[in-house]
Amino acid sequence: MTPPGMVRLEFGSAFDMLDFVQVVSDHIGKMAGLDEDQLHWVSVAVRESVVNAIKHGNKNDSSKRVIVEFSPVPPTDAGELVIRIEDQGEGFVPEEVADPLAPENILKSSGRGIFFMRSFMDDVSIARRPGGGVAVRMSKKLA
């Protein structure tokens, strides 16, 4: 059962879903009171996380699921918007992802999504899920 105030999306790994996730993210962000700048950066962070779940986590396997959850915390009079993205891939160790700002990595594309998420959100945690996959938890403080 989905807790009060939570919106949960679950879909097979398909890039076709990105626009739908973005529409939902923007709508929830507006309802939460994010301004236009915050809305844009939260949208970029959500998009990057979902792309990572599809491409790197689930390796474009459409039979594997991606879960995206949006929830205000606490559910009434929320102080923050929490967004969770889960995949069913093999998982990875976040500390082993190359720093995209290091001189030797400037021209490489890897690690940029996680960098963007951490830059645009107030808090980001990445953890392996028991049984496989990765769960990303991002939060944005609300005014």
pLDDT at 113: 79
Secondary structure letter of residue 2 according to DSSP: P
Determine if the peptide bond prior to 94 is cis (ω within 30°). Answer: no
Q: Is pLDDT larger for residue 35 or for residue 96?
A: 35
Cα within 13 Å of Cα(41), Cβ side: 16
pLDDT-derived band at 130 (thresholds 50, 70, 90) equals confident
Whole-angstrom distance, CA of residue 91 vs CA of residue 19: 25
Cα within 13 Å of Cα(124), Cβ side: 19
| Adjacent-strand bridge partners of 84 | 69, 137
The residue behind tokens 């949960």 is 8
pLDDT tens profile 39-93? 999 999 999 999 999 998 999 999 999 999 999 876 666 789 999 999 999 876 6
The distance from CA 60 to its chain's CA centroid, rounded to whole angstroms, is: 17
Whole-angstrom distance, CA of residue 40 vs CA of residue 47: 11
Residues 114, 119, 36: CA angle, nearest 5 degrees: 115
In the predicted model, is pLDDT for residue 15 greater than 80? yes
Query: Mean pLDDT of all residues in the chain?
Result: 87
Residue type, 1: M
Contacts 24+ apart (CB under 8 A), 129-132: 129/86, 129/91, 132/88, 132/89, 132/90, 132/91
Secondary structure letter of residue 129 according to DSSP: P
pTM of the predicted structure, to 2 decimals:
0.86
pLDDT tens profile 2-11? 666 789 999 9
